[in-house]
Chain A
């Protein structure tokens, strides 16, 4: 017998009324109108838990760590009541042969009906032996499991883009999921970020369970609901940018007043993520709010796009008019020294004069 989310809540003494209230809150958390609450309720009441195989390649486990920090829903409720996390080598009780047997069993029992979640990526160098599982290359396991999955979630910037181990000169030939030779032709949902925001991770799962479909993706494969606007577009310090009020160096008067961090290197203008809307750790803060420039950790190749304290310049579509797909294809040009100062200064001048006009 399958246990549904609703069963669990009922058995814990939660009334139907409270359950429906939960569903409205869940709709709100997903940015949906309360009209969607009945749909969520229906999903919660009727669905068995979908099996998830969460494989780890070369990574640092920051995605898993982020996942367990989810405030709504709690990681506990995702694991006990929404999905069946049958394989995840970070938390699973089983080890060695007993662990590997789960992969075979899942493929046999749920062929085409489980989700493959990938954290980290596979190195192709040294015949794949820079990442070994059960004595064999991780890449072999990944490609094999992918053939039997319903869909693939690429958690974080490692699985989505390659991230730090793929930064120049990428010594292990670390390769993101969608570029692995032999990976199955299955839908791949990229959830980039180093790590992704906790509540974004759980929302992607909840969305799929609730609406029985993949979230709408942009042309790079990211859920539009979280990755189609720049951090800059919704930044609470945007007013200071527009007014030409900047932090010139850390801990100066501008820093204490919460001015814009653009001049100390903020990558918010070229970074597509939900940090300035959803924020982090239950909506508590995000890097810019705590005084550090955005380093652009959800962008492809962000490690190789210049120093984190060098300011962006010559950005096409610097305003709010360009869409995500256009900007995503345009690598921001980052330069140092006098050119940057000049370019930066002219941008500021333009903005300052715009401010005067207003």
Chain B
């Protein structure tokens, strides 16, 4: 291949040196990435491969639809609960079940706490080491670190020189022991790390603080769902009954007070630690504005967090909904998840086959049939891939498209759409962040922009969590303690053939489940998930997906230590178990499963 231009406007050149990153670590699941570098070490071709696959959709076949949430919740334990919520919404849509207001508030609190938790853990524990150098933190002056902390976030209590000295001592002993644990073999001498030692020490300290604090955030879900990871859900509402005067009710005043306490602390942590850190670190890296990819062109959000129960219209969703095409922020398109011509999945470069290979299929009519075959230009063997051939099939991820367009989804997509729609809160946040960093609007369309949007959204989500707690309490005060509508819980009340769809905005982006129910059992279940959108391989036309687009034209300082690739891939917070859960039959009895 010489230089080719993709229909979505990117130039690909695979003639230069090939670099392979496998496994891509600090993600959920398994992923491989290959790039070609030109003579000056700029990325000119990028190939992302989903390297795992589990088959949950076929496992769901013939099961009780009321149980589906538990199965699909196990698609992902990082965004735990978001698939379960999507699933109960899909079943309720099929059965026309209205849930009580309290159930809507509780579900929103659980979903918002997930947003905050997932974003916070992503930034500190999956992403920070792309920007922060723990070895360099040993050179920091604790006093200067304290001054930096007080300047960056005057409200954060833990800021004394002694505090930073203690942490530094602990890290020093850890590193000097020679047993580096998670920091082992990092690229710690790479010139791509730009923070001064004091900023490294501050960020590393917050890595540890965040590791301690994140477990508190999720206790909200333990109150309502009984455990976390993987809390419990219920078709028709939520399982936790409310009675303010009963000695045995799952939810009473003490439990609500607990939720309030955690929620208030969460708001403080995000405000005093997470957001200031992202802005401070961003300040040192603001000349590194690679990684935009599709962000400045095509972005999409399904929207989420219904204010009133059972109304999933754009107006009632507090998280923005719509699509932007070709970077035209003046027009936000409506999306219809039920329209067979809007969302379609393609498989010419995925390890699946369709009867008509080039055609896309809407999820309600999806076919899932495995075809693990490698392209003719593969270097290696079927079980020892050295260089993948992106001209053939090369990923366990399908390629979803909206009206034929490759789309980016996720926090940055949501924030761009919110900004384009003039959402006041989002616009204020974006403008003040751009001002603080002294960068223009286009800086938003970048790896850093993605990382910043996630932090800003956490602040929004934590505050909205409190909004729904207040709303829940006000509703109980008004005499409504209902948490579940069980009118149609008994399958004998169901029509023989129905279908439904449910959607959420998962932390990583737009998530939809489509279900068909026949004679009270699941006939077909299809999920199109955020990392399927972002991590998609090429489609029939040759359009590249968001991961591949974002890597192009990035300079890699040291090709043997491609931290820049990790930085940009991590900014999407890839979740491979989510994206590659789809079914492919294994030989014999399932060889021709057709999921219509």
Q: How far is the CA of A29 from the CA of B520 in the complex (A)?
A: 46
A167–B59 contact, CB under 8 A? Answer: yes
Residues of B within 8 A of A249 (CB): 486, 489
Stretch from A38-46, A59-67, A181-189, A207-215 that touches the partner? A59-67
Residues of A within 8 A of B66 (CB): 307-309
A70–B177 contact, CB under 8 A? Answer: no
Residues of A within 8 A of B176 (CB): 1, 3
A76–B212 contact, CB under 8 A? Answer: yes
Nearest CB in chain B to that of A167: its residue: B59
Q: Binary interface profile of A, 5-42, with partner B (CB < 8 Å = 1, else 0)? A: 00110011100000000000000000000000000000
CB distance from A27 to the nearest CB of B (A): 23
Q: Binary interface profile of B, 462-498, with partner A (CB < 8 Å = 1, else 0)? A: 0000000000000000000111101001000000000
B23 is contacted by which of A95, A167, A275 (Cβ under 8 Å)? A95
Stretch from B141-149, B226-234, B310-318 that touches the partner? B226-234
Q: Binary interface profile of A, 79-114, with partner B (CB < 8 Å = 1, else 0)? A: 110011110111111111011111000000000000
Q: How far is the CA of A75 from the CA of B121 in the complex (A)?
A: 13
B30–A290 contact, CB under 8 A? Answer: no
Residues of A within 8 A of B58 (CB): 169, 171
Q: How far is the CA of A3 from the CA of B171 in the complex (A)?
A: 11
Nearest CB in chain A to that of B487: its residue: A249
Q: Within 8 Å of chain A (Cβ to Cβ): is B286?
A: no
Query: Contacts A65-B80, A172-B586 hold; do A3 and B174 have CB atoms under 8 A apart?
Result: yes
B232–A164 contact, CB under 8 A? Answer: no
A281–B222 contact, CB under 8 A? Answer: yes
Residues of B within 8 A of A137 (CB): 383
Q: Within 8 Å of chain A (Cβ to Cβ): is B76?
A: yes
Q: How far is the CA of A83 from the CA of B380 in the complex (A)?
A: 37
CB distance from A261 to the nearest CB of B (A): 9
Q: How far is the CA of A173 from the CA of B231 in the complex (A)?
A: 27
Interface size on B, residues (CB 8 A): 111
Stretch from A121-129, A143-151, A316-324, A347-355 that touches the partner? A121-129
Q: How far is the CA of A258 from the CA of B240 in the complex (A)?
A: 10
Residues of B within 8 A of A131 (CB): 30, 51-53
Nearest CB in chain B to that of A99: its residue: B25
Q: How far is the CA of A171 from the CA of B76 in the complex (A)?
A: 18
CB distance from A193 to the nearest CB of B (A): 9
Q: How far is the CA of A173 from the CA of B590 in the complex (A)?
A: 12
B184–A93 contact, CB under 8 A? Answer: yes
Query: Contacts A8-B170, A71-B215, A131-B51 hold; do A94 and B186 have CB atoms under 8 A apart?
Result: yes
CB distance from A121 to the nearest CB of B (A): 10
A60 is contacted by which of B51, B76, B483, B562 (Cβ under 8 Å)? B76
Q: Binary interface profile of B, 551-595, with partner A (CB < 8 Å = 1, else 0)? A: 000000000011000100000000001000001111101100000
Residues of A within 8 A of B218 (CB): 69, 281
Residues of B within 8 A of A257 (CB): 243, 246-249
A95–B182 contact, CB under 8 A? Answer: no
Q: How far is the CA of A74 from the CA of B481 in the complex (A)?
A: 37
Stretch from B4-12, B67-75, B323-331 that touches the partner? B67-75
Residues of A within 8 A of B27 (CB): 90
Residues of A within 8 A of B230 (CB): 62, 194-195, 297
CB distance from B364 to the nearest CB of A (A): 21
Q: Within 8 Å of chain B (Cβ to Cβ): is A301?
A: no
A291 is contacted by which of B126, B241, B482 (Cβ under 8 Å)? B241
Nearest CB in chain B to that of A173: its residue: B586
B22–A133 contact, CB under 8 A? Answer: yes
Stretch from A48-56, A219-227, A338-346 that touches the partner? A48-56
Query: Contacts A133-B30, A281-B222, A309-B66 hold; do A250 and B23 have CB atoms under 8 A apart?
Result: no
A68–B211 contact, CB under 8 A? Answer: yes
B77 is contacted by which of A60, A169, A171 (Cβ under 8 Å)? A60
Task: List CB contacts (< 8 Å) of B208-254 with chain A.
Answer: 208, 211-212, 214-215, 218-219, 222-232, 234, 236-237, 239-243, 246-250
Q: How far is the CA of A94 from the CA of B23 in the complex (A)?
A: 10
Q: How far is the CA of A136 from the CA of B577 in the complex (A)?
A: 18
Q: Within 8 Å of chain A (Cβ to Cβ): is B21?
A: yes
Nearest CB in chain A to that of B223: its residue: A285
Residues of B within 8 A of A288 (CB): 226
Q: Within 8 Å of chain B (Cβ to Cβ): is A286?
A: yes
Q: Within 8 Å of chain B (Cβ to Cβ): is A358?
A: no
Q: Within 8 Å of chain A (Cβ to Cβ): is B32?
A: yes
B177 is contacted by which of A2, A71, A171, A275 (Cβ under 8 Å)? A2
Query: Contacts A80-B174, A92-B184 hold; do A290 and B250 have CB atoms under 8 A apart?
Result: yes
Residues of A within 8 A of B421 (CB): none
Q: Within 8 Å of chain B (Cβ to Cβ): is A238?
A: no
Residues of A within 8 A of B63 (CB): 307
B229–A195 contact, CB under 8 A? Answer: yes
B215–A281 contact, CB under 8 A? Answer: yes
Measured CB to CB, the residues of A under 8 A from B are 1-3, 7-8, 11-13, 48-49, 51, 56, 58-66, 68-71, 74-76, 79-80, 83-86, 88-96, 98-102, 125-138, 163-165, 167-174, 194-195, 197-198, 249-251, 255-259, 275, 280-282, 284-292, 295, 297, 303, 307-309
> Assuming A11-B173, A164-B56, what are 19 further A-B pairs, CB within 8 angstroms?
A7-B173, A49-B181, A61-B78, A69-B214, A90-B28, A92-B184, A93-B25, A127-B382, A132-B52, A133-B30, A164-B59, A251-B482, A280-B228, A281-B215, A285-B227, A288-B226, A290-B223, A292-B226, A307-B67
Nearest 4 pairs between A and B by C-beta? A258-B248, A62-B77, A290-B226, A287-B226
